[in-house]
Amino acid sequence: MRAETRLGFILLLTPLLLWLVLLIIIPHIDMFLISIRERVAVRTYETGFANYLTFFTEPLYLVTFMRTALMSVLATVMTLIIAFPVSYYIAKIAKGRLQSALFLLCLVPFWVSELVRTFGWMILLRETGIFSSLLQFIGIVDGPVEMLYNDTAMMVGLIYTSMLFMVVPLVTTLESLDDSVIEAGYDLGGNAITVTREIVIPHATPGIVSGCIVVFMLSLGNYLTPTMLGGKESLWFTELIYSQFIVRFNWELGAAFGFLLLGLSSFIVWIALRLTGQTLEKTMG
């Protein structure tokens, strides 16, 4: 019986190990080896860290890197601010079919690809789009207004594409909060602000941290939304990586940029876990 259990465990674990090794570990090792190659002549390479030094000596790369990090953090915070009351309403106020319907409405936009959703925002925000036409109809503006190709449009797209990944962990965490605990907070003289601050938020902290990690990672590594909604004025670090790999065929520098982005995301996630006192086991459990 023990041998059968062990065999079953191995069979269950094998697909996961193959996925980790073939699609994550080996490609990352290969990319790191590429990133430490220095091209000295045609098909002639030396080992070194010149590609990483290029990042620190070129202001454009460093500025874009920091800008991407700050904008991703801002998108994460704004997503949390919007998603928290929505999640609280779904988890604690809405009941029965209304609760299911609201949660379904959060899921429906993600039944289509990110490309289609981004094109939808481009249709809404362009000069001849609905928002521009509505502003003209009301009389706020005299002519068409171009709302695309700026940081605001890009931020709207990032928040929209990440919203579900903040709502789901928040709803899951808030549903486990007993209603009687909230009622006790009000019975003891608390108001909506104090109950939220002292009871709801501490209980929802694992869901908040989990959602923030996922949203931050998605925003930081997003390529489609910054390119289509931000335009040339809104540089994003993933665009530089794409340019090095696909446009300039400089795989060595592109691989180095990729590892720098991985290091940045890991560092910010580690800082967030330390500040909140959470662990990956709690947040992803």
- What are the Cα distances from residue 96, in Å, to 91, 190, 235? 11, 28, 45
Residue 177 included in any domain: yes
**Overall number of domains in the chain:** 1
Measured at the alpha carbon of residue 192, what is the angle toward residues 187 and 196, in degrees to the nearest 5? Answer: 100
Looking at residue 222, what is its pLDDT? 92
What are 187-229's pLDDT values in tens digits? 888 888 999 999 999 999 989 999 999 999 999 999 999 998 9
Per-residue pLDDT of the chain (285 residues; tens, 9 = 90+): 577 778 778 888 888 899 999 998 999 999 999 999 987 777 777 888 999 999 989 898 999 999 999 999 999 999 999 999 999 999 999 988 999 999 888 888 888 888 888 989 998 888 888 888 888 888 888 888 888 888 999 999 999 999 999 999 999 999 999 989 999 998 888 888 999 999 999 999 989 999 999 999 999 999 999 998 987 767 899 999 999 999 988 899 999 999 999 998 888 888 888 887 777 666 665
pLDDT of residue 285: 58
CA dist., res. 199 & res. 204, Å (int): 9
pLDDT in tens, 148-159: 888 999 999 999
The answer to whether residues 65 and 264 touch, using CB atoms and an 8 Å cutoff, is yes
Rounded to whole angstroms, how far apart are CA atoms 114 and 224? 8
Contact assessment for residue 206 and residue 278, using Cβ atoms and an 8 Å cutoff: yes
User: Residues 171, 177, 179, 181: what is their CA dihedral angle, to the nearest 10 degrees?
Assistant: -150
As a whole number of angstroms, the distance between CA 134 and CA 67 comes to: 32
Domain for residue 80, yes or no?
yes
On whether residue 7 sits in a domain, the answer given is: no
Q: Within a domain: residue 42?
A: no
Distance CA 280, CA 195 (A): 27
Residues 226 and 284: their CA atoms lie apart, in Å, by: 28
Q: Does 29 map to a domain? A: no
| pLDDT score, position 146 | 83
In-domain check, residue 16:
no
Domain housing 102: 47-284
Tell me whether residue 135 is in a domain.
yes
Residue 227 placed within a domain? yes
Q: What is the DSSP string of 11-29?
A: HHHHHHHHHHIIIIIHHHH
77: domain CATH number is 1.10.3720.10
State both tokens at 193: 């602000």
